[in-house]
Amino acid sequence: MWARIEGKPLWKLLCDMDPETLVSTIDFRYITNVLTKKEALHFLREMREGKAIREEKVIDEGYPAYTTQVGWSGYSLEKVKVLCQKYMASGFNSFKIKVGQNLDEDVRRCRMLRNLIGWDNTLMMDANQVWDVNEAIERMKVLAEFKPLWIEEPTSPDDVLGHLAISEALKPLGIGVATGEMCCNRVLFKQFLQAGAMQYCQIDSCRIGGVNEVLAVYFMARKFGVPVCPHAGGVGLSEMVQHLQIFDYVCLSGTMESRLIESVDQQQEHFEHPAVVKNSRYMVPTVRSLAIVHASSSSQWWTMSIHVARSGSDCIHPKVQVVLWQSEVSWKSNESLGLGWSLLAYATLTKGEMFLDLCH
């Protein structure tokens, strides 16, 4: 909202703030044992030199990206091959593949992708929390032959010490641990960073409590020297995290080394101002605020039959309208359903009909 009032993109609002104003927006409760306001101010002040040059550089060159589009679980080997060729042709040199199926399948898929992209390009792996700690270590010892930069979410996202054990076991193999997309507050990030349990910090701009909260994580990552590589593997996340990474480069870390933004370009037609990635680099957004606005063509009013389960029988209520955007369903108004009924829950929307459980 602040950026919207100022008529600036979020990244520009943050970059134009003086250090005192920006630090005043951060809640330091529970994290002062690792980061104080004084330290945060020092980080910003020491980076003022060269700030204008870095801003000009990122505007001219963009911010490095990697793609996850080539390696989703469930893709056939042929589809992986076609997508890999497509994204290499568009300039990408960093690729992520999902692992965590049976080991033979993981080896087969990783070997294929590594052979396609070559050994000069970067490969990352993502297990999406599927393994126990010891299993993660043993699986990655096998997959280490493909030289991944990191293994992402190798185990439970809440297991700080488990991630530490995996980090220590994989360090001799040159494999880092990336995690954080499931962390919902600065305190959990504090513990991961304190323990040395993450080598790549993956904030999720929707899961954590807003810009103020996520800034605290960026400052702690700066304190511990851990690069932030945001999670953007969901619709709309690319549009959000680009602002935060640009701020980090211009004002806080001063480098793009070892830092990448995930790029997932599906569903972009549903936004008025989608993120723009050219030659594997995010172009700096110019629209004010975050500019996360759904395209009008993607939101339509639908009137449909609502089947109401009540007293063991079905009836149709004629007055309910819903708005459908993709698979998201919400009420057009808070109009009472009448007869003293109240909504408990809704099930899946299927073929123009929605089945609701109502109570009297």
| Active-site annotation, residues | 98, 231
Whose tokens are 């809440």? That residue is: 158
Let me know: does 309 contact 358? Beta carbons within 8 Å.
Answer: yes
Let me know: does 124 contact 94? Beta carbons within 8 Å.
Answer: yes
Q: What are phi and psi of 311, to 5 degrees?
A: 55, 35
* Sign of CA pseudo-dihedral 253, 194, 182, 30: negative
Element (H, E) at 1: none
Inter-residue long-range contacts of 345-351, CB under 8 Å, 24+ positions, other chains counted: 349/322, 349/324
Let me know: does 213 contact 220? Beta carbons within 8 Å.
Answer: no
Element (H, E) at 130: none
Let me know: does 252 contact 218? Beta carbons within 8 Å.
Answer: yes
* The one-letter amino acid at 262: E
- Where helices occur in the chain by DSSP H, the ranges are 2-6, 10-16, 19-24, 37-46, 51-61, 77-89, 103-117, 133-143, 160-170, 186-195, 210-224, 237-247
Which strands make up the sheet holding 353-359, listed edge to edge? Answer: 313-317, 305-310, 353-359, 342-346
Element (H, E) at 154: none
* Sign of CA pseudo-dihedral 114, 115, 118, 119: positive
How far is it, in rounded angstroms, from Cα 51 to Cα 55?
6
Per the structure block, which two tokens stand in for 49?
């030199």
Please return the burial class of 318, using the count of CB atoms within 10 Å of its CB with bins 0-12, 13-18 and 19+: exposed
